[in-house]
Structure formats: structure tokens, C-alpha cells
Structure 1
Amino acid sequence: MDRVGYAIGGVLFLSGLVHLVVLLVTGGTWLGPLSMRKPLTFGVSFGLTVGAAVWATSFLRIKPGLRTVLLSVLAAASIVEVSLITVQAWRGRPSHFNFETPLDSAISTTLASGGFVLIAVIIGFTVAAFRTVQTRSMQLALRFGFAALVVALAIGAAMIATGVPEARSGNATVAYLTAGALKPAHAVPMHAILIMPGFAWLLGRTRWPEPTQVLLTRIAAAGYGLLIAGTIAYFAVWTT
């Protein structure tokens, strides 16, 4: 499953880069729900997340069969999310909060449902992370990374929960503005699953003693946690 997972992550990441080229060549807008920026950012983000999840879960104390199932669901849901967002971008239709036609409604509903599937999968990995015994620095990094990913997906769910009622009421513009304000709070914690275990792994390649590695990992986790809290607090202030 690892090779397949890395391949899927690579393809999703590459799809994002392709849309970066499209944006640069066509001079298209970077703003708004119809921008090619959406398949760009979702492709890159999901590609990194799938690849990071495959790598990070290799450190977890989890049954191989269960890990394979969870990674398979994560990969499948990620493919669906990126594919539907890409299709809508090329159709010139908003991918989220769009209920104008039966097809648009089905796509928006599928995207929202996929988000909740992803939350369930990541919660499963997070539980495993808190049962895993590794070096103290890697153990902390894994727990922080998966917990932060749960936070990111929960914020994504909040974006859907706040935007869908507005869109169904005919206030699509309000839906995009309200949900869009949460984008930084959603994006910042998402990639902790790559950054924190990666940082701990690099520390493990040094000759520094374990207490030093643990201290540095704690400092990094505290700093990252403050950054996450800051982006969430900014949204809370912005919406009041």
C-alpha cells in the first residue's frame, strides 16, 4: 500500500502543479470560487497530505490490515475530492456551496460527505498515534501532527456547516465570504503531519542527545500550536 499511496499522493500533487502552469499561462484570476487556484491548492494539499500520512503512519503501532484499510479510504476520498473540484473548475462552476443544478448539488454534497469521511480516518490514525511508543521526540511529533490534522479537518467541516445554509438560502456570496475567512485556520494545521514528524526525523539523524531532541520538538510544537491558535483567534475576531 505504501508505494500505491505515494504514487497517488504524487499524482495529486502533480495535478496541482499542472493547474499552477495553467494559471500562469492563461493569466487567470487567483481569486474567487471559479479560479483554477482551487484545483491547484487542493491538488497540492491533498497530495502532500496523502504522502505524509503514508509515511507518518509507518511509525504507528497499528495492525497492518487496519492501516491498509484506512490509507485506502484516505486515498480514495482524496482522489474524489480533487477530481470533483478539478471537474468543476474546468466546467466554470463553483465546486462548493453550489446547488443550482442537480449535478452541481450532487458534487457539492459529495465533497462535503468526503470531508467527514476524511475526519473519521484521521481520528483513527490519531488514536493509534496516542497508543504508539516511539522515541520521545517522534512520539510527540506524531501525536501533535495527527491532532493538528484533526483540527484542520474540523475547521473544514465548520466551513461547510456555515456555508451550506447560506448557499441553500440563496446567499452564495455570503457563504463564500464566511467560509473563506476560515481558510488560513484550515490550512495552517493541515500540514503539521508532514512538518512535525519530518522535524523529529531530522533530529534523529543528528548526534544530539535524546533530551535535546525532545526539547527542540517541544519548542517546535509549542510554536506551531501558537500559530494555529493565532489563526483561529484571528477568525474569531474577524467575524465579530
Structure 2
Amino acid sequence: MQHWRTWHRPLVLFAAAMAVTTVVSGVGLLVDDRVLAGSAIWFKPFKFAASFVMYALALAWMLTLLTRGRRIGWWAGTVVALASFVEMVIIVGQVVRGKRSHFNNATPFDASLFAVMGATIVILWAATLVIAILLLRARIADRASAWAIRSGVFLALAGAAIGFLMTQPSAEQRAAGNLDTADVVGAHAVGVPDGGPSMPLTGWSTTGGDLRIPHFVGMHALQLLPLFLLVLITLAPRFARLRDPRVRLRLVRVASGAYAAVTALVAWQALRGQPLIHPDGATLTAAALVLAATAAGTYGALRVRSGAHPSPSATKELTS
């Protein structure tokens, strides 16, 4: 892995700022008892800041892997950092004012801030797409690494795109969430109003669907799939089969497919107005099929094939 000093500096600086914001928001959760839309007022900046730390650092590292278009990648990463920074400034600023940041159409000023947030998210998504395309063109020697990185960034883009559904509420969201008023122009929940009973820590609805779930799951593929490969590489000296780069590649492919299936499953569940913790028979059946396919794929990936042995160079590289 490249030394962290070579990572994309604007993204690293943004991640550092978000780490500080996470701490400040955590203090706010302890000392500020205000509640907004059914949640502690500092909960949103806390979640966003913590998520941005992981997102920015993952992209900052991935940009060091580019072999072509490095300058374009640098500018794309800088755009991600700037757009994300503007997003967080508005979120924290609205908390200080005691106002909601997302979906707020109560005053012209609030509506303008939300419009700016919408624009920054589109810009962030487009800049990340540029990075994803550059990563597709990059020469990454290890095929498992290439697969984990590329599938991670594209699944993250898919997860981020689910956020756009929140700003275009369905008829069910409008009926349940009183969204026909002029003050609100979107919703997280499906089938129930925003701000109802929710899960601890995440704030996800326990009485209806919640689009934040597939949004969260998809976006964090950016970190989790490369981390999965890192775990395989760490375990390779102890487990002979994992020393074979072909086995790691097959396992990463299975993990990527399973991750995509889970993201699609929780999106389908949310869009049907169903809480994550109260799945119906159709959801449980789909989950069982995903689990069975993943288990079968894992078995196939680990199964010893005739004549398949880890290459000496790959084994030496992993154990050195």
C-alpha cells in the first residue's frame, strides 16, 4: 500500500476536518438536548462526519493507484473534497440555527441552502464517477485488488444514487409523511412519517421503510470490499488456499456479488415500506436465496482445482 503521505492531500485534509467535526458533534450530543425531526439535533452531523472520514480516506488512497489520468483524478478528488465540505458546512450551520438541513423548504433561505446541498451531491457523485472510470483504466497488477476497488467504488455510486430518491418522494411517502405542505420537499421514510420510532445509533425507522439503509450499505462498499481483501491477504500466511491469488480473486467476486445483492434487497425492502427489523416472507425468502448463493459461491471459490497451486512469486510477495 502506498505511504499515506502520497495520498490525495485535499481529501486527507477534509477527512481530518471531519474527524474533528465528529468529535464536536459527539460533544453536542452530550450537552445539547434539542431534538429535531424526532432525533437529537447533533446526530445528523455526527453520522455524516464519521461517514465522510471513511469515504474521503478510501478515495484518497485509491487515487494513488491511478496509472493514467492522474491530473484529472487529482482534480476530481479535490472537487469531491470541496463539494463534501460545502455539504457539511450547511448541515452544521443549520444545526446551530436549530433548523433541519435536508428537505427544508420553510423559508426562501432554507430552500436555497437545500438547493445548494442538492447541487453539491450531484457534483460529488459526478466527480466520484470520474474517479471510478479512471480506476477502470488503471493498471492494477493484482486482479483481486482491482476487482475489490472497482466494484467497491461502483457500488458506492449506486448507493449514493439512492439518495436522489429521497428528494423525489413517492405517493406513499407523501401520503404518510405530510409532504404536500410547502415546508418539506422530501423524506427518508416510506409508508410512515419521518421522525417516528427508530433504531438506536442508526436512527432508521422501525415502523416503515427507510431509504437511508440501502444508501448507507451501498456507499460503504467503497471501504468494506477492499477491507475484505485485506483480511484475506492477512490470513494468507496461515491458510494455504488463500495464498493463491486466483482463490482470492474468486472470493472477492463472490463478496462483490453478495454485497450488490444485499444492497438491492434492502432497497427493495425499503421501497415497499417495510422496516429492516420486520421482514416479511418475501424478504426472508430473498435473503435466504442470497445467503445460499453466497455459500455456494464461497465453497466453489475455495474448492481445490486439479493442477491449481499458488504461484511462488505470489506466495513470496504475501509472506515477505
**TM-score normalised by the chain length of structure 2:** 0.67
Q: Distance in 2 between matches of 1:192 and 1:174?
A: 25
**Equivalent pair of 1:56/1:197 in contact (CA under 8 Å):** no
Structure 2 residue 221 is matched with structure 1 residue 209: no
8 Å contact kept, 2:169–2:186: no
Q: CA deviation at 1:73?
A: 0.2
1:60 aligned to which of 52, 57, 66: 66
Tell me the alpha carbon deviations over residues 94-120 of structure 1, each in whole angstroms, 9 at most, x when there is no partner.
101112222211110000111110111
Alignment pair present for 1:190 and 2:190: no
User: Which runs of 5 or more residues in structure 1 are unaligned?
Assistant: none
The Cα shift of 1:161 comes to 2.5
1:141–1:197 CA contact under 8 A, matched in 2: yes
Partner of residue 150 from structure 1, selected from 108, 133, 157 = 157
Match of 2:26 in 1: 20
When structure 1 is superposed on structure 2, of 226-235 and 76-85 the one drifting more is 226-235
Superimposed CA distance per residue, residues 192-221 of structure 1 (whole angstroms, 9 cap, x where no aligned partner): 111112332443454411012112212321
**Aligned counterpart, 1:228:** 263
Match for 1:143: what amino acid? R
1:136 to 131, 138, 143: 143
Cα separation, 2, equivalents of 1:223 and 1:87: 39
In the alignment, which residue of structure 1 is the partner of 2:295? Answer: none
Q: Which amino acid aligns with 1:138?
A: S
Aligned length: 238
Which residue of structure 2 aligns with residue 4 of structure 1?
10
Verify: 1:170 aligned to 2:197, yes or no.
no
After superposition, the Cα gap between the structure-2 partners of 1:231 and 1:220, relative to the gap in structure 1 and judged at 3 Å, is same
Instruction: Give the Å deviation of 1:142.
Output: 1.2
**Conserved 8 A contact 1:30-1:37:** no
- Contact 2:149 / 2:226 at 8 angstroms: preserved in 1? yes
* Secondary structure class of the residue paired with 1:238: coil
Larger Rg: 2
Counterparts of 1:64 and 1:168 in 2: how far apart (Å)? 47
The Cα of 1:35 is off from its aligned counterpart by: 2.1
1:228–1:43 distance in 2 versus 1, CA, 3 Å: same
CA distance in 2, matches of 1:107, 1:93: 11
| Partner secondary structure for residue 65 of structure 2 | coil
TM (norm. structure 1) is: 0.88
Unaligned runs of 5+ in 2: 1-6, 195-209, 238-242, 275-320
Identify which of 61, 78, 88 aligns with 1:82: 88
SS in 1 for 2:138: coil
Contact 1:196-1:221 at 8 Å conserved across structures: yes
Match of 1:107 in 2: 113
The letter for the 2-side match of 1:160 is: T
Structure 2 CA distance, aligned partners of 1:101 and 1:232?
Answer: 32
Render the CA deviation track for 1:133-169: whole Å, top value 9, x for unaligned. Answer: 3211011111111111111121112212328x96574
Which has the bigger relative contact order, CA under 8 A and spacing at least 6? Answer: 1
Q: Distance in 2 between matches of 1:66 and 1:15?
A: 29
Aligned pair in 2 of structure 1 residues 34, 20: CA closer, same or farther (>3 Å)? Answer: closer
Q: CA RMSD in A?
A: 2.6
Q: Determine if contact 1:35/1:89 at 8 Å carries over to the other structure.
A: yes
Q: Are 1:17 and 1:44, in contact at CA under 8 Å, matched by a contact in 2?
A: no
Shift of 1:34: 6.8
CA distance in 1, matches of 2:40, 2:168: 21
Paired-residue identity, %: 24
